[in-house]
């Protein structure tokens, strides 16, 4: 019986390991894209390129909507920088995601309204929502 379970575990192990690393590599790719999107927004701000700002903000929002699904419990093996706090304080993590989504939506709305005067503050708010989550939930 023990041997049988051992065999099952050995057979399942690589499966679990590869699922975890798929989740990890996907979210890292998305966070790198977030960083690029923020750089694109900063550049576009200098030219009042409203369309580029709205596109980048939308991309950040879409990832925000999906983000929670890419943090299954315990998916922070090395080299992940995700903290256990994500699963210990699920409500706070959900709230941090929500703030990020709302800030991205707001920036997008302002860009679509072509209201250049409100863009810099909305950009700062979005950036603050990234940093707030990193402070609580990332090494």
Residues that bind ligand HEC (CB under 6 A): 24, 27-28, 31-32, 34-35, 38, 60, 76, 80-82, 96-97, 100, 129-130, 133-134, 137-138
Distance CA 92, CA 97 (A): 9
Nearer to ligand HEC, 53 or 82 (CB): 82
86 neighbors 30 (Cβ within 8 angstroms): no
Could you count the other beta carbons within 10 Å of the beta carbon of residue 100? 23
Q: What torsion, rounded to 10 degrees, do the Cα atoms 8, 9, 11, 13 define? A: 160
Min CB(75)–ligand HEC separation in Å: 7
Nearer to ligand HEC, 9 or 43 (CB): 43
Distance CA 62, CA 10 (A): 37
Nearer to ligand HEC, 50 or 100 (CB): 100
Nearer to ligand HEC, 11 or 88 (CB): 88
Min CB(17)–ligand HEC separation in Å: 15
Min CB(78)–ligand HEC separation in Å: 10
68 neighbors 26 (Cβ within 8 angstroms): no
């Amino acid at each position: 019986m023990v041997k049988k379970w051992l065999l099952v575990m050995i057979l399942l192990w690589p499966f679990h390991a590869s699922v975890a690393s798929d989740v990890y590599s996907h979210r890292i790719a998305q966070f790198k894209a977030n960083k690029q999107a923020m750089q694109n927004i900063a550049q576009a701000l200098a030219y009042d390129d409203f369309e580029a700002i709205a596109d980048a903000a939308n991309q950040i929002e879409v990832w925000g909507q999906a983000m929670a699904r890419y943090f299954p419990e315990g998916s922070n093996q090395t080299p992940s920088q995700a903290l256990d706090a994500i699963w210990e304080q699920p409500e706070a993590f959900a709230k941090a995601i929500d703030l990020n989504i709302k800030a991205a939506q707001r920036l997008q709305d302002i860009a679509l309204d072509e209201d250049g005067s409100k863009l810099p503050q909305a950009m700062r708010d979005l950036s603050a929502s990234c940093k707030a989550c990193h402070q609580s939930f990332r090494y």
